Amino acid sequence: MNSNHRHRPRKRFGQNFLHDPTLISRMVKAINPGPDDTLVEIGPGEGALTLPLLRAAGRLAAVELDRDLVAPLQSRARAAGELTVHQADALRFDFRQLAPAPPARLRVVGNLPYNISTPLIFHLLESADVIQDMHFTLQKEVVDRLAAPPGSKIYGRLSVMVQYRCAVTSLFRLPPAPSARPPRWTPPSSGWCPTKSPPWTWATNRPSPDWSPRPSPSGARPCATPSRGCSPRRRSAPPA
């Protein structure tokens, strides 16, 4: 895509494109892609992260909602590697269809749109068993909630659901982006790895029948909370 004809970020898609090569390089280093990886990028945009990932891994699948970005991205990626773009809504996309044969699993990355980050995380958790790890840039408040310890003021549904399936790490903070929406939000880069076994188990071996991983309209918390901080070690949790 010609620098004089850049795609104008669309507010309805929550688009905020990456441009700083130093920051992009730092993100790629944190992801550390390899030729045997099955990479999936959510919201590749203009390809700032896509292209260096392609050069390192050789192939990548991307899920992009904005159809106006698909053809330019495919054109720019031809010399970098094998790129497959799925023009689709990531909130409804079946990520399992991209999963490689076991024991290999997906590696999911992305500069997530701020307006759908939380529901998208819940959607991805439904496929956690076929995902090796996830690396995202997110709003600071979202990362704080993802990694919040039990008993803290911001510990809630998102904390419980993600920590039940993943070990979360806040990797580094990106500087404020003056043109971002909302103004000057500071997105940390975070990485989280689904654990082979949940960090704690239900005392009854299964959740309450009315329990759901989806947020409820009332915003109520899930039926179970761990008694101690989540870690890859197995814990026990009381039933609802």
Give tens-digit pLDDT for 29-48.
999 999 999 999 999 988 89
111 is in an annotated binding site: yes
Residue with structure tokens 């704690």? 200
**Percent helix, strand and coil across the chain, each to the nearest 5:** 30, 20, 50
* 46 assigned ligand-binding residue: no
Q: How many residues does the chain have?
A: 240
Higher confidence at residue 170 or residue 189? 170
Burial of 1 (0-12, 13-18, 19+ CB in 10 A): middle
Residue 21 near residue 49 (C-beta atoms within 8 A):
no
* CA count, 13 A, side-chain hemisphere, 153: 1
Q: Which domains does the chain have, with CATH numbers?
A: 3-237 (3.40.50.150)
Q: Is 2 annotated as a binding residue?
A: no
C-beta atoms surrounding 218 within 10 Å: 6
Residue 170 pLDDT level (bands cut at 50, 70, 90) = confident
Judged by average pLDDT, the poorest of 11-15, 88-92, 222-226 is 222-226
The pLDDT tens digits of the residues spanning 73-106 come to 999 999 999 999 999 999 999 999 999 999 999 9
- 235: Cβ contacts below 8 Å, ≥ 6 apart: 199, 200, 201, 226, 227, 228
Partner residues linked to 131 by β-bridges: 106
pLDDT in tens, 105-133: 999 999 888 788 999 999 999 999 999 99
Token readout for 166 is 């993943």
Of 50, 38, 194, 201, which is closest to residue 111 (Cα–Cα)? 50
- Sign of torsion over alpha carbons 9, 94, 85, 134: positive
How many C-beta neighbours within 10 Å does residue 208 have?
13
Q: Is 210 annotated as a binding residue?
A: no
151 is in an annotated binding site: no
Nearest to 64 by CA among 81, 50, 51: 50
What is the reported pLDDT for 188? 54
Q: Does 205 carry a binding-site annotation? A: no
**What is the structure's pLDDT at 223?**
31
